Structure 1
Amino acid sequence: MFRRRARADRAFREAQRAGQAMLAMYAQQPRPTDPGLVAAAVPATPDAVEFDFLPPDFRAPSRKDVEGFMMRWDSPLVIDGEVRQCPACGAYRNWIIFNLRDDSVWLRCRAGHETKETALDTAWYNRNSGPADRWHPTLEDGLRYLGH
């Protein structure tokens, strides 16, 4: 009975270590100094500059083999100083957050209501999510794994 749990825990710890090693390796690399690369990566308005620490190969929208990523967010979701609530039922915690290939972020409450969150983007998702530890063939499998 406990072997399966120990094996899953070990696999999860290995995925975390691999993610931490990748982040440490990327932190040691110098930032690009070519003005063309920097200009392409920086938005036109200086107020909207937000650094995405992941290299392009690891960002969700560039992945061709997946439709998106999902993670669980149990605590209240605070964006710009406001706690987000489900517009349909008023729930404010236990979210599933989806990051889709088109750089959109969607929220799903416990009751199954989904809403697009325009204040969040892929860079926010990448900063707040851990390494992906599982691949799910269907949305229902992913939701079941995350407890929804």
Structure 2
Amino acid sequence: MFRRRARADREFREAQRDALLLMQAQEPLPFDTVQAEAPASAGSGSEAVVPDFPPADLRAPSRQDVEGMMMRWMQPLVIDGEVHACPTCGAYRDWIVFNMRDDSVWLRCRAGHQVQEPRLDTAWYNRNSGPVDRWHPTLEDGLRHLGH
């Protein structure tokens, strides 16, 4: 009796799975309907309307749209086991770290001296930076936001 019940349950689950797969195969996906509507409306002379998702005010700029990214580094910056100091003024903490579009990393001390640091790269920046909280139209706006 137990074997008949187990077999009936297994057959029922298989029938459910087959029905679900058949139903999913017959239902078009949302992006298929948008693509299917575009040629039909293009033939009638009107422009195809594609949903704007996400809205423009929620989209972040792409990597090609920005000159670079910056973050504040308050503690001493240790590179290859040694504390990095500004070559001009000797400051060793409170840096602004820039990751530029060409994958170079630049450091700026509190006094405004900037130097490229070849031992740091974009991978290091990505590991140590947090999420982007703001986009700034100018460098001065970004520095003011970070307290420099």
2:129 aligned with 1:126, yes or no? no
Task: State the alpha-carbon separation in 2 of the partners of residues 131 and 65 from structure 1.
Answer: 17
Runs of 4+ more than 2 Å apart: none
TM-score with structure 2 length normalisation? 0.58
Question: Match of 1:15?
Answer: none
* 1:126-148 deviation digits (Å, cap 9, x = unpaired): 00001101000000000000000
Structure with greater contact order relative to length (CA < 8 Å, sep ≥ 6): 1
Question: Match of 1:136?
Answer: 136
Corresponding letter in the other structure for 2:132: A
Task: State the alpha-carbon separation in 1 of the partners of residues 66 and 137 from structure 2.
Answer: 10
Question: Match of 2:76?
Answer: 76
**Matched residue SS, 1:130:** coil
Corresponding letter in the other structure for 1:123: A
Structure 1 segment 88-99 matched on structure 2, within 5 A: 88-99=88-99
Corresponding letter in the other structure for 1:131: P
Unaligned runs of 5+ in 1: 1-61
Question: Match of 1:66?
Answer: 66
Task: State the alpha-carbon separation in 2 of the partners of residues 123 and 136 from structure 1.
Answer: 22
**C-alpha deviation, 1:123, in angstroms:** 0.3
TM-score with structure 1 length normalisation? 0.58
2:119 aligned with 1:146, yes or no? no
Structure 1 segment 14-53 matched on structure 2, within 5 A: none
* 1:59-111 deviation digits (Å, cap 9, x = unpaired): xxx71110000000000000110000000000000000000000100000000
Corresponding letter in the other structure for 1:114: Q
* Percentage identity across paired residues of the two chains: 80
Task: Report the number of matched residues.
Answer: 87
Task: State the alpha-carbon separation in 1 of the partners of residues 104 and 64 from structure 2.
Answer: 16
Unaligned runs of 5+ in 2: 1-61
* 1:26-79 deviation digits (Å, cap 9, x = unpaired): xxxxxxxxxxxxxxxxxxxxxxxxxxxxxxxxxxxx711100000000000001
Q: Which structure would you say has the larger Rg?
A: 2
Task: State the alpha-carbon separation in 2 of the partners of residues 130 and 94 from structure 1.
Answer: 16
